[in-house]
Structure 1
Amino acid sequence: MIKFKFGHLLRSLKHMFWDLPDKNKLEQSLFKEQIKIYYNFTSSAFYGFLAVFIAFFLDQNYLLSLVIGIPTSLLFIRLLFLFGRNLASD
C-alpha cells in the first residue's frame, strides 16, 4: 500500500510558491515553466478525479464514489507531482 507523505507534499508546495528564486532571469523563467507544468498536471489530476466521481455518482453509489474518488485523486496528484518535478528538472 502506498503511504502518502503529506509533509513532503506541503514542503514541495511551499518551495514551489513561496521560496522564490533569485533575481536571475534564467531562474525566473525556469521557475515560471515549472509552475506551468505543476498546474497542468494538477488540473489533469482534478479532472481525473471528477471523471471517477461522476461515473460512480451517476451509478447512484454515492459512498463508493467518495471512497474510490478521493484516494484516486490523491494518488494521481502525487504521481503527477513526481512526474512534473522530473520534467521540470530536465
Structure 2
Amino acid sequence: MHRRALKYSEFGDPREVVQLVQETISTDLGPYDVLVRWLAAPINPLDINKIQGVYILKPQLPAIGGSEGLGRVMKVGTSVTRVSPGNK
C-alpha cells in the first residue's frame, strides 16, 4: 500500500522544509493496530507551529504534518473491538 504525506526532517518555514512524499507502507498489523485510509487531512495553525518548531510539544523528526483528518477503517488487528473495517 502507498501513502502520500507532507513530511519534514527539520523545523523551519513550511514552504522550505515540507516535502510531498510517496512511501510504501506495510499492511501487516499488530493485535491492537488499525489501518485507516485517509480521505481528507487539513494542515491547521497547530501543524504550522509544529513544522516551524515553535509549538511546545515538538514531534520527533522526521515527522508528517497533520493532526486530524477523516478516514475509513480498512483493516483491524485481532484484538481491536471498537471499530470495524468500513467505519468512518
Please indicate the TM-score interval, normalised by the length of the shorter structure: under 0.3
| Greater helix share, structure number | 1
| Greater strand share, structure number | 2
